Amino acid sequence: MSAPGLPARRCARCEAAFPSVESPERCPYCGNTWLSDTTLSSTGTVVTSTVVRVAPPGTEVPYTLAYADFAPGARLFGRVRGSAPIGATVRLVPAPEPDHYVFEPEEKP
């Protein structure tokens, strides 16, 4: 069962989309305030990722960070539960603050 997509805002000028929690009133890309409500797709495609192997004490390593694209027009940065190579499909899963969301690799059929 797929989770519902993340609530988002979409810019009427540059058409970028971004999570509502990150910038509810202003487009972070062009500064426009003419925004509409939308919902990001629940799955996206990894654009790039990296494995973090050194972190402050108390942080479990290794872990993966990635940029992934979600319709309509959002490129999000976040932590991956597991690993996610470039081109992999990931699910957008709501998470507690400060992350707001994490990426979960989509299981292959």
CA separation, residue 83 to residues 42, 45, 73, 107 (Å): 18, 13, 23, 12
Smallest gap from Cβ 77 to Zn ion, in A, equals 18
Please, what is the minimum distance in Å from the beta carbon of residue 72 to Zn ion? 13
Task: State which residue, 32 or 50, has the beta carbon closest to Zn ion.
Answer: 32
Q: Which of 30, 51, 55, 61 forms a contact with Zn ion (CB under 5 A)?
A: 30
Of the two residues 29 and 77, which places its CB atom closer to Zn ion in the complex?
Answer: 29
Residues 6+ apart with CB under 8 A from 31: none
